[in-house]
Amino acid sequence: MMSAKQADRLATAGLYAVAGVILALLAGLLGYVFVKGFPMLSWQFITSPPQIFKGGGGVGPQLFNSFYLLVLTLVFSLPVALGAGIYLAEYAKDNWLTRSIRISVEVLSSLPSIVVGLFGFLFFVIYMGWGFSIISGALALSVFNLPLLVRVVEQSIQSVPRTQREAGWALGFSKWETITNIVLPAALPGLITGIILAAGRVFGEAAALIYTAGMSTPALDFTDWNPLSPVSPLNPFRPAETMAVHIWKINGEGIMPDASAISDGAAALLILSILLFNLSARFVGRFVFKKMSAS
Amino acid sequence: MQTVAVPSRVLSSQTHVTALTGPELTRPKLETDRLSVFYGDHQAVSDVCLTFKKNTVTALIGPSGCGKSTFLRALNRMNDSIEGCRMAGEIRYDGIELQSRQVNVLEVRKQIGMVFQRPVPFAKSIYKNVAYGPIRHGVKKKKELDRIVEDSLRKAALWDEVKDFLHQSALRLSGGQQQRLCIARALAMQPDVLLLDEPASALDPVSTAKIEELIGQLKKEITIIIVTHNMQQARRISDETAYFYMGRMVEHGPTEQIFSNPRSEQTRQYISGQIG
């Protein structure tokens, strides 16, 4: 028999060991990607377009595409997620309708992304006739992203104490005014964290994009910002290969001589971008909250 | 019974209302007539008839779960927001039946303000916390808002402590200051009646004393109804006291009389500490 003290020590050691293994795994993985990829990173690499047959190409358009798709995806999914999350948290009564909404959200969130991609291919690319395009990709990613966002919105709104709402009502605010003026601002830190999480997932997603946004990028003219022009980077109806898709593609069928080095560099750049995005979003969130709570 | 025109802001439209009581002067500010509140099958308040006179402080006392807080929250229809909550009987404010369908509940809450047990500042600046209500109700001019904010904070005895950092977050204030900020926020709506739900129970003695002093000042202008667990507090600050037990109002009268010579044996036992 072990004494309680021994058991306690054993459990503590076990937990430390598990935490250590996870940390080592993460550090090893990141370290490997960075060590292999960092030498590739240069201004030329992150701005110039890829080469098909020669070495020395970059990933400029892919980097741009990743960010553009992310922004468009959030533009499509955030309003819907906010609406659904607010409804579920503030208005929904417990009945068959809300139960079925919740179940749908859960089922959607467990859908494999390749399935979402194939759905996007059939519906947006073929049926709607948008072809392999940013808009098809962004909509497919919105489908993929919505469940997570809805839950995040619902949970961060629910975490605002009821007393805050009552204080609003006691001032003669209507329910809607209380939500928009008091509950949402108070929920903002949670909302921002959730949006960052969702954005990171979108940024790294490849499977859902292969069949929707496509695996190629036309020659782009980065001086043409008219979204209707076919060579404009902003044109939502052009195909757009993202960083993650590019990594997948050159590992499979890249015929440039420096394919594996480019893939390493792109991987490091992808991780770096996600890191930067997270940090800056956190910073912006804290800044906005501070601004709002003191002005 | 007579029919009078009551040009009150509480009604959605100007309507003739049957006033059940006599002339303006003797009519209570607020009264309940056989008011009952139910949560589902549970009856929390039973047939309470109470009158609240203008410019007086009425304390509602009684053991936990006696229905005094529920009763208080019925007065500005805060219970509307609780699912399964139902009310019966009447609440009359300046003679107007508050549960009538013509009554705009948002206007009711504007005129019958409320402060809760725990301070609930919004995650905004001190200034915004106070100015929010008036902004929402249509005050736009910066000057006018500044005046309302200063006025309300002065009335809540907080101005001198915060005037130099009005634009800092209200979350950085102490508990006592936050509670006075909540009182200022309620006062900024220029309410007629203020409902206080154990406003000092989460505060230290110094802050409590400040709030009690404040209540004495405020009653010159408005009618105050306060729920309290603290018998000494009730005795110090109130003009009238009502004792609640098991959802019923047992006794109501001038505070001095309730504490020195209660009519009901139950009240006497509670006040002397035999019922807790």
Complex ipTM, two decimals? 0.84
Chain A interface test: which of B72, B80, B85, B109 (most A C-beta within 10 Å): B109
pLDDT of chain A, 295 residues: tens digit per residue: 678 899 999 999 999 999 999 999 999 999 999 998 888 888 888 888 888 787 778 888 888 999 899 999 999 999 999 999 999 998 888 888 888 888 888 888 888 989 999 999 999 999 998 989 999 999 999 998 899 999 999 999 999 999 999 999 999 899 999 999 899 988 888 888 888 888 888 888 888 899 998 888 878 777 878 787 777 888 888 888 888 898 898 888 878 888 888 888 889 999 888 888 888 877 887 887 777 776 5
| Chain A closest-CA separation from residue B203 CA (Å) | 17
Instruction: Return the pLDDT at A13.
Output: 95
B137 within some domain: yes
Residue B112: name the closest of B104, B120, B102 by CA: B104
- The 3-state DSSP class for residue B41 equals coil
Domain span at residue B73 reads 54-80+105-271
Share above pLDDT 90 across residues of chain B, in percent, rounded to a whole number: 52
- The 3-state DSSP class for residue B227 equals strand
Chain B interface test: which of A91, A288, A293 (most B C-beta within 10 Å): A293
| Residue B15 clears pLDDT 70, i.e. is over it | no
Taking an 8 Å cut-off on Cβ atoms, the answer to whether A171 and B120 are in contact is no
Q: Report the number of distinct structural domains present in chain B.
A: 1
Residues of B in contact with A169 (CB under 8 A): 78, 81, 109
Chain B interface test: which of A160, A171, A176 (most B C-beta within 10 Å): A171
Whether B267 and chain A come into contact, CB under 8 Å, resolves to no
B43 within some domain: no
Domain ranges, ordered by start, for chain A: 1-40, 43-293
Share of chain B residues as helix, strand and coil, in percent rounded to the nearest 5: 35, 30, 35
Instruction: Return the pLDDT at B8.
Output: 53
Residue B11: pLDDT band with limits 50, 70, 90: low
B13 within some domain: no
Distance between CA atoms of A209 and B73, rounded to whole angstroms? 55
Going across the sheet that includes B57-61, the strands are: B112-115, B193-197, B223-227, B57-61, B240-245, B248-254
Q: Considering only the top CATH level, what class is A43-293?
A: mainly alpha
B86 within some domain: no
CA dihedral in degrees (B42, B48, B53, B57; nearest 10)? -50
B14 within some domain: no
- Residue in the structure block whose two tokens are 């130099």: B164
Pull the structure tokens for residue A62: 């892919």
Instruction: Return the pLDDT at A32.
Output: 93
Instruction: Return the pLDDT at B276.
Output: 59
Interval B108-134 mean pLDDT:
91
Residue B7: pLDDT band with limits 50, 70, 90: very low
Residue B37: name the closest of B59, B57, B66 by CA: B66
Q: Are residues A173 and A184 in contact, defined by beta-carbon separation less than 8 angstroms?
A: no
Taking an 8 Å cut-off on Cβ atoms, the answer to whether A182 and B122 are in contact is yes
Range 174-193 of A in CB contact (< 8 A) with B: 174, 177, 181-182, 185-186
Instruction: Return the pLDDT at B12.
Output: 53
Residues of B in contact with A167 (CB under 8 A): 116, 120, 122, 182, 185
Whether B202 and chain A come into contact, CB under 8 Å, resolves to no
Q: Note the residue count of chain A.
A: 295
B190 within some domain: yes
| Residue A237: φ, ψ to 5° | -100, 15
**CA dist list (Å): B230 to A253, B61, B142, B266:** 79, 8, 41, 17
Exposed, middle or buried: residue B245 (CB in 10 Å: 0-12, 13-18, 19+)?
buried
